[in-house]
Amino acid sequence: MWPFKSKMTGQPVLINCGVQSAEFRKERAETRVANLTAKLARLHKRSGSKAVSQEIANTRVAIQAWSDVLELAELEISQNERGLQL
């Protein structure tokens, strides 16, 4: 028997489902930051060309943008929790 069982799974996509919850945005941003950070590490291993240098710069900007989304979502969750406690 083969020692692995691979499976490719398409993920859901939503169209016009309104504003997503802070919890969803937090999860999404965490995933994006993790994926982009891993990409940045792969890029550094390939560094040398102008195209890769540009991609490194672009990826850093993207990580910062998603980090901002993550921070806002966490702040909103925190405020919601405090609101529930009052």
Partner 1 sequence: MTWVVHSDWLERHFDGTQALDLDAVLLGDTINLGIVTEATINPDTNALYTGLTAVATGTAWTGPVALANITCGLNGSNDLVFDADDPAVIALDAGGFSNARSLVIYEATNNYIIAHHTEGATFGNVSGSITITLNANGFWVLSI
Residues 55 and 36: beta-carbon distance below 8 Å: no
If binding is defined by CB under 8 A, does position 11 make contact with partner 1? yes
- Cβ distance to partner 1 smaller for residue 57 or 83: 57
Distance between CA atoms of 30 and 27, rounded to whole angstroms? 5
> Footprint of partner 1 on residues 50-79 (CB under 8 A)?
51-52, 55, 58-59, 62
Residues 55 and 43: beta-carbon distance below 8 Å: yes
If binding is defined by CB under 8 A, does position 14 make contact with partner 1? yes
- Cβ distance to partner 1 smaller for residue 62 or 72: 62
Residues 63 and 41: beta-carbon distance below 8 Å: no
- Cβ distance to partner 1 smaller for residue 22 or 62: 62
